[in-house]
Structures are given as structure tokens and as C-alpha cells.
């Protein structure tokens, strides 16, 4: 379990000089920000990847406590449907209101489900989450008159700060909002990991007995992280729903949850940056592999993951960090 353990340590040895890391981050953000102008055809693809990255960050939070959820698509779907219902009730509602409402709905759902599932660990934790997401999926499928069944419901374009924008402008705003969320929520999550609260949460992975003998309820500690993970998944769900303009039960489907875990491992389980790197790689491989390799794109993705697990157990972020370390070393010796 070296994969998660080393990634989980907030005070892990620096991977490369801090200046170098900051530069790399700035370059990556600048590159992302330039996409609508440099490669406009990829804008939607990147936006969907960022939405997934936000949700994967939620799964990553739980990995820090050694827990895997196979049902976090639930919060993705709750937020997306919350946004769609809000738009149906309040046509022309604001994008930020949608985001706040969706995230609040997902967090509330996280609290309700979390109070129950934090009693369990390991496979039971993972499968109970799956069970809740599948219950929600069935509700979405069966209550056709409310949810639109398998067809889902439309999520019309919301206003932005009271302004009705055309499609192109709106997509641009949504794109930059996604980047802002990635930076803001990513920063908060990294800070939270390093905070006393985040550290108490992460100790669930190594020693719950000691945690209890520190006077802390392990369930409460896990619940705090669970709520954060639901919130992050909710943010991803709203962005995804708004970007696609329609929400379907597939949002809560177990494959969606599995995809989040897949991306988390691919990017580097336990890493915030890895969640987004993994999501971008996943979306690109999926899109282009399915375009050029027809029905075998899943096999290609599976093979890719296998290679990562075998040769880069810390995920893509592990490779990036290793390159950073090597560069820093060569800078030092120069």
C-alpha cells in the first residue's frame, strides 16, 4: 500500500523545488486557460474532464483515510438533478445559485448517507455506498413523471450574474468557472489535508484504536471527510450537468462510480493534482480511443491502467513528481 501511503502524507518530502512546482502549476493552469483559444474544439472535452476531476477529488479524499467508495456517483447525480429541478422551478436561475444549491444538496445527502456508512470500513463501506447510489439510480429510472426516467431531464442554460449569455459565451464562462473551482476547491482540499481536522481524518487509515484513545470519535472523523467528498462530487455533478445540458440516471450508475475510482488510481490515489491529471488523461484516451479503436477502447483503458499499476504505482502524479525530483537534483548539482 505504498501507493497511497506516501501520497497520503501531507508533509511528504518535497518533490522538486517549491519554485519549480509553482512554475509547473502556473504553466498547467495557463495551458488549460488557453484551450478555448488555442484548441476550441477541445474546450468541452476539457470542461467535462474538469467536472470529473472535481468528483474524483472527492473519491481521493476518502482514499486518504484508506476507504474506497464505489457509490460516489450518488452525490454527482444528486447535485446535477438538484440543479435541473431548480432550473425547472426557477427558469433563468443563476449559475452560481445552481452551483450552491447542487453542492448543498449533495452535502446534505452526504450527511444522511454518511451517518450510516461511516460505521463500516473496507469492502462494507465501499459496497454500502454502491447500494445507496443504485437505490438513487432506481428512483431516477422509475419515477418517470418526476425524473424523466432513462431519458433524464433537460438542464437549460442558466443565467450568469443575471445576464443571459449566448452559447459560446456561456460555455466560456462555464469553462473558466470550472478552472476556478479546480483551483479553489483543490487549494482548500490540500489545506484541509494538512489541517488538524484533515490529519485526524487520515489517521483512520493507520490506527483507529489510537484515534479513539485520543478522545476522538473515528466515525465523526470519517464523517468530516465524507462530507467534503460529497461536496466535491456535487460540484463536479453541477458542472457536468450544466455543460451537457441534460442529466440522466446514468449519472448515478455504478459504472460512473467505478470510473471515479479508476481515474483516482490512474492519476495517483490520494493526490489532488492527480485527480485532474487522471481525469484529463481518461477523457482524452476515452474520446480518441473510442473514435479510432471502436469497441476496444475499454480494453485500451484497462491496459493503460495495468501499465500504471505495474510500473507507476503512485499513478501519473508519481511519474510527474519523479521527473520534478530529478530536475531539482540536476539543478542542485549544476
Partner 1 sequence: MSAPLLETRNLEIRFGGVIAANDVSLTIESGRNLAIIGPNGAGKTTFLNICTGWLKPTRGQVLFEGKDITPLPPRKIVRRGVARAFQIPQLFTEHTALENLLIAVAAREGLRNPVRDLHTIPERAEMMHLLEMVNCADVADRTVVELSEGQRKLVDIAVALALRPRLLLMDEPTSGVASSQKHRIMEILVEALAQAQVTSVFVEHDMGIVEKYADEVAVWNAGNVQLRGTPAEVLEHPDVIRDVIGEVA
Which residues make up the interface to partner 1 (CB under 8 A)? 5, 8-11, 188, 191-192, 194-200, 202-203, 205-207, 209-217
Residue closer to partner 1 (CB basis): 70 or 201? 201
Q: For residue 19, what is its C-alpha cell?
A: 519554485
Residue 223: CB minimum distance to partner 1, A: 13
Alpha-carbon distance values, 265 to 72, 134, 138 (Å): 15, 22, 28
Q: Determine the longest span between alpha carbons in the chain, in angstroms.
A: 69
Compute the least distance from the CB of residue 200 to partner 1, in Å: 6
> Is 229 within 8 Å of 62 (Cβ atoms)?
yes
Name the minimum Å distance from CB 216 to partner 1.
Answer: 5
Residue number, 212 or 331, with CB nearest to partner 1? 212
Q: Residue 159's beta-bridge partner residues?
A: 94
Are 73 and 134 in contact, with CB atoms under 8 Å apart?
Answer: no
- Minimum CB separation from partner 1 for residue 3, in Å? 12
148 vs 186, beta carbon nearer partner 1: 186
Sign of the dihedral defined by the CA atoms of residues 211, 217, 222, 228, in that order: negative
Separation of alpha carbons 27 and 68, rounded Å: 32
Residue 47 vs 202, nearer CB to partner 1: 202
What is the dihedral sign for C-alpha 304, 306, 312, 318?
positive
Q: Which residue has the cell 494538512?
A: 194
CB of 184 to partner 1, least distance (A): 12
Smallest gap from Cβ 105 to partner 1, in A, equals 21
CA 174 from centre of chain: 17
Nearer residue to partner 1 within complex by CB, 228 or 280: 228
Amino acid at each position: 500500500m505504498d501507493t497511497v501511503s506516501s501520497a497520503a502524507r501531507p508533509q511528504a518530502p518535497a518533490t522538486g523545488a517549491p519554485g519549480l512546482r509553482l512554475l509547473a502549476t502556473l504553466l498547467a493552469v495557463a495551458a488549460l486557460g488557453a484551450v478555448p483559444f488555442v484548441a476550441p474544439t477541445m474546450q468541452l472535452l476539457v470542461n467535462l474532464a474538469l467536472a470529473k476531476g472535481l468528483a474524483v477529488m472527492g473519491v481521493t479524499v476518502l482514499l486518504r483515510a484508506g476507504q474506497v467508495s464505489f457509490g460516489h456517483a450518488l452525490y454527482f447525480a444528486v447535485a446535477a438533478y438538484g440543479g435541473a429541478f431548480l432550473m425547472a422551478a426557477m427558469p433563468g436561475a443563476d449559475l452560481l445559485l445552481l452551483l450552491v444549491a447542487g453542492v448543498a444538496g449533495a452535502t446534505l445527502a452526504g450527511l444522511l448517507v454518511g451517518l450510516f456508512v461511516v460505521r463500516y470500513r473496507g469492502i462494507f463501506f465501499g459496497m454500502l455506498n454502491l447500494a445507496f447510489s443504485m437505490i438513487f439510480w432506481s428512483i431516477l429510472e422509475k419515477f418517470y413523471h418526476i425524473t424523466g426516467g432513462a431519458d433524464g431531464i433537460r438542464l437549460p442554460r442558466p443565467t450568469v450574474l443575471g445576464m443571459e449569455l449566448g452559447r459560446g459565451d456561456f460555455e466560456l464562462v462555464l469553462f473558466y468557472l470550472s478552472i476556478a473551482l479546480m483551483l479553489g476547491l483543490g487549494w482548500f482540499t490540500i489545506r484541509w489535508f494538512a489541517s488538524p481536522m484533515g490529519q485526524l481524518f487520515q489517521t483512520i487509515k493507520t490506527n483507529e484504536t489510537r484515534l479513539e484513545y485520543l478522545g476522538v470519535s473515528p466515525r465523526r472523523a470519517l464523517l468530516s471527510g465524507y462530507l467534503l467528498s460529497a461536496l466535491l462530487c456535487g460540484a463536479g455533478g453541477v458542472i457536468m450537468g450544466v455543460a451537457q445540458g441534460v442529466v440522466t440516471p446514468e449519472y448515478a450508475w455504478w459504472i460512473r462510480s467505478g470510473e471515479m475510482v479508476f481515474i483516482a488510481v490512474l492519476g495517483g490515489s490520494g493526490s489532488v493534482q492527480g485527480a485532474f491529471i487522471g481525469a484529463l488523461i481518461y477523457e482524452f484516451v476515452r474520446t480518441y480511443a473510442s473514435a479510432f479503436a471502436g469497441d476496444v477502447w475499454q480494453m485500451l483503458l484497462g491496459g493503460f491502467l495495468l501499465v500504471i499499476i505495474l510500473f507507476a504505482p503512485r499513478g501519473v502524479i508519481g511519474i510527474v513528481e519523479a521527473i520534478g525530483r530529478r530536475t531539482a537534483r540536476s539543478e542542485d548539482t549544476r
